[in-house]
Amino acid sequence: MMRASKLAAAALLLSGCAQQPSQAPSATAAAAVEPLDIQRDYHSYANTREFRTEHLLLDLGVDFSRRVLEGTVELRLQRLSATAAELVLDTRDVDIAQVEAAAGQGTWTATTFTLDPRDAILGSALRIAMPPAADRVRIRYATRPEASGLQWVTPEQTAGKKHPFLYTQSQAIHARSWIPSQDTPLVRSTYEARIRTPKQLLAVMSAVNRPEQKRDGDYRIRMPQPVPTYLIALAVGDLKFRPIGKRSGIYAERSVVRGAAYEFEDTEKMIDVGERLMGPYRWSRYDMLVLPPSFPYGGMENPRLTFLTPTSIVGDKSGVALIAHELAHSWSGNLVTNATWRDFWLNEGTTTYLTYRIMDEIYGQARGDMERALGQQQLVEAFAQATHDGDKALAFDQRGRDPDEVFSSTPYQRGHLFMTYLETKFGRARFDAFLRGWFDAHAFQSKTTEDFIAYLEAKLLASDPGLVPRAKIDEWIYASAMPADAVYAQSDAFAKVDAQRAAWLAGTLPTARLKTRQWTSHEWRHFLDNMPAELTAARAAELDRQFKLTQAPNNYIATSWFRVAIRTGHAPALPAIERFLLRVGRMLFLNPIYRELVKTPDGLAFAQRVFAQARPRYHPIGQASVERIIKDAQK
Ligand SMILES: [Zn+2]
């Protein structure tokens, strides 16, 4: 169990403001005129009350030289309205050549379509005329090189340097940039695909992959479990496969696969823990694909095939909470899915809570508590960076905003703290049974925040009336300020680090006497992330001389150190920072470094120069994120 102590710093920073909770979900949007419809996905144009995709068939050629996917998508639809004469789909930056429609097994006939003007966030609605009884459409289309959901990686940017690499990132609303579709988590469908690639390369998807199949550049892949479009994923590269357990394995380039197999060898144990906590693993296999370093996220929970950054392979398993996290999504997110992006916390908060529970089971409570404490620090930073006060709540109105721009640690960490609060109140046994019941009762469904609240009231709150009032639940979910009785983790290991840092800062502990030999990367991060603002360049240089931090091979430690180096003006670190920013595309590392850089005119100039060079190597989502940081600094 986690101790119920109030971690002074986090509690003060997070609940110190006197914000009044805005309890009604409809009162959150200042700009929006209409009352919020919580059942509606405002990030999709799809008319899901008239048609719903049940099965999706892709037939695509992968053209690396033109950076284009070209072919067809067929949607098999459930017709919910007998009279509906128009099907509206989501697209962004795709060229539509032809659309055909059919009824049942009937023949295809060409039908008319229009593409609405492009909205900067949502893209262009594709409006297809549906003949009476039509319940299938087939669209011939091509993507554009700038498609936001695709990254075309040059051979030089891969580990092998010989072959190009392509991967998709569909969450949140990028599937529409490579598949005209009902791009909303409200709709789930099974899918199948025929993917044509250069002969030497292998195509894999978030589906049933067959590593033993012959490499002939013509791959047929099928996904038997229904998933929303944001979980449809494709990667094409010079991939090898290596099993690591009876239902898990690694896909990666040849030179990467071995290190990854060692780093992630505990995956099978994690699946077992996941099943004990949350019920059967319903996706048959859990494989992982290691991507080139430009991947903007740590991981993406694509079902059956998690996509991973190579930056988490550091040789000491210090980054494996990432695997626990992506695996936990097999229940929270992939099995029971947020209905709209307003409900994103349901995916991420529950997953973050489960991540730490898995880490406790496999690596011990001390490790779990360090992960929790680092997470709390991320929440403090997310609150400090929030541009809209409402973004500090769990569920909030996101109309008119890009989910990528809204993205922060808040739904992860505040969501985790909400789950921890409930666990503390009701006891672990009852809370575990409640969560498992939630997954079992809603498997393969999409749920809103309010569905969760209703289930919580019926299954947990009602079992002990008065223990947690409904108003407390509303405060957790809809209010900006953190509830004052949140339960924060306390890490004993970090307390020892704090004591050493304090003595070193006071000058009573010389640099050479800092006891860091046993530190994990977590302790290093905690040590560096909590250095005071007034630390001088001379003192930073002392640390660098002693511990060679500028050369730190661990990306997590390097990021924390680079922030200290930038803040203190420790110039010898700058060339290493530049190399790092040119090599790595993971936003968890890029964003804090760029944010630190842009605080001074010299730093901003450095950031602009490096970004101009690094930009083509970053994923479109990473590019947009750094662009926002630089633009905000210029205001
Ligand atoms: Zn996640």
At 338-369, the pLDDT tens digits run 999 999 999 999 999 999 999 999 999 999 99
Joined together, the tokens standing for residue 233 give: 């994923």
pLDDT of 19 > 50? The answer is no
Say if CB 473 and CB 453 are below 8 A apart: yes
Rounded to two decimals, the pTM is 0.93
Q: Rounded distance, CA 52 to CA 54, Å?
A: 6
Residue 48 confidence (pLDDT) above 50: yes
Quick check: helix, strand or coil at residue 537? helix
Q: Measure 628 CA to ligand 1 centroid, in angstroms.
A: 22
Q: With a cut of 90, say whether residue 31 has pLDDT above it.
A: no
Average pLDDT over residues 98-104: 97
Q: Tell me, what's the pLDDT at 473? A: 98
Q: In the prediction, which pLDDT does 14 show?
A: 61
Alpha-carbon span 404 to 216, nearest angstrom:
37
Q: Please tell me the distance between residue 106's alpha carbon and the centre of ligand 1 in angstroms.
A: 42
Residue 351 CA to ligand 1 center (angstroms) comes to 6
What pLDDT is attached to residue 25?
40
**In the predicted structure, residue 152 carries a pLDDT above the cut 80:** yes
**Centroid of ligand 1 to alpha carbon of 540 (angstroms):** 34
Say what the pLDDT of residue 21 is: 38
How far, in Å, from the CA of 480 to the mean position of ligand 1?
22
CA of 274 to the centre of ligand 1 (A): 15
Is residue 225's pLDDT more than 70? yes
CA distances from 213 to 144, 168, 278, 329 (A): 30, 22, 33, 28
**Which residues contact residue 323 at a Cβ distance below 8 angstroms, ignoring those fewer than 6 apart?**
264, 266, 267, 270, 288, 299, 306, 308
Question: For residue 580, what are its two tokens?
Answer: 């790092």
- Condensed to tens digits (0 to 9), the pLDDT of residues 419-458 reads 999 999 999 999 999 999 999 999 999 999 999 999 999 9
**What are the pLDDT digits (tens) for 526-560?**
999 999 999 999 999 999 999 999 999 999 999 99
Provide Rg for the chain, Cα atoms: 25
Q: What is the pLDDT of residues 497-522, one digit of tens each?
A: 999 999 999 999 999 999 999 999 99
Q: Give 174-226 as a 3 state SS string.
A: CHHHCCCECCCCCCCEEEEEEEECCCCCEEEECCECCCCCCCCCEEEEEEEEE
pLDDT value of residue 117: 98
Instruction: Give the model's pLDDT for residue 33.
Output: 75
Please report which confidence band the pLDDT of residue 6 belongs to, taking 50, 70 and 90 as the band edges. very low
Q: Residue 635: its pLDDT value, please?
A: 83
Using alpha carbons only, give the angle 602, 607, 612 rounded to the nearest 5 degrees. Answer: 130
pLDDT of 27 reads 37
Tell me, what's the pLDDT at 4? 38
> Residues 44-66: what's their mean pLDDT?
98
Cα distances (Å, whole numbers) of residue 519 to 263, 545, 586 = 18, 18, 24
Give the pLDDT confidence of 179-200 residue by residue, as tens digits.
Answer: 999 999 999 999 999 999 999 9
pLDDT digits (tens, 9 = 90+) for 567-608: 999 999 999 999 999 999 999 999 999 999 999 999 999 999
Output the CA–CA distances (angstroms, integers) from residue 403 to 350, 400, 485, 498, 544, in the order listed: 19, 9, 29, 36, 39
pLDDT at 11: 52
| The pLDDT of residue 16 is above 50 | no
Mean pLDDT of 315-340: 96
Q: Would you name the residues annotated as active-site residues?
A: 326, 412
* Å from CA of 544 to ligand 1 middle: 34
Predicted pLDDT at 196 = 98
Contact call for residues 177 and 143 (beta carbons, < 8 A): yes
Q: Which residue bears the tokens 């695509």? A: 60
Distance 613 CA to ligand 1 centre (A): 30
Distance between Cα 347 and ligand 1 center (Å): 7
Residue 333, by phi and psi: left (phi above 0), alpha (psi -120 to 50) or beta? left
pLDDT at 252 over 80: yes
